[in-house]
Amino acid sequence: MKKSKAQELTQAELQIMQVVWAKEHVFVKDVLAEMPEPKPAYNTVSTFIRILEKKGFIGHTAYGKTYEYYPLIPKEEYTGTYMTGVLNNFFGGSLSRLVSFFSDNKAISLEEADEILKMLEK
């Protein structure tokens, strides 16, 4: 049973999902190989993968006792849902407030400003 797609990932879950999205089909050992040092224990990664499965983010194919995992929710879908939440929860749904926040807190180059304007014109 798939859970709500609007569910937010923890930092650890997101780190694992980034690997699953990038590789599309992985075993626990593949995810572990992509983790930064100090690497977590194999069982820790396996536990987080099972949690992600319960949340409906990943599925698996069984090969005997070995499982191959794959994403059920595309990265773009999660990103869109997450960013819509950020926009609504922190900026009252206002794109101009969001852009203003980033322009006030991060130097935006002319190229980036031009890209933002082109996106807004669409």
pLDDT, tens digit, for every residue of 61-108?
A: 999 999 999 999 999 999 888 888 888 888 888 887 887 787 776 777
* Residue with the two structure tokens 């996106």: 119
CA distance 25 to 44: 19
Higher pLDDT, 82 or 112: 82
pTM of the predicted structure, to 2 decimals: 0.74
Domain definitions of the chain by residue range = 11-71, 75-121
Domain 11-71 has CATH 1.10.287.110: no
CA distances from 12 to 9, 16, 34, 75, 84 (A): 8, 6, 13, 16, 21
- List Cβ neighbours of 54 (8 Å cut-off, separation of 6 or more): 3
Distance, in Å, from the CA atom of 13 to the CA atom of 57, rounded to the nearest integer, reads 10
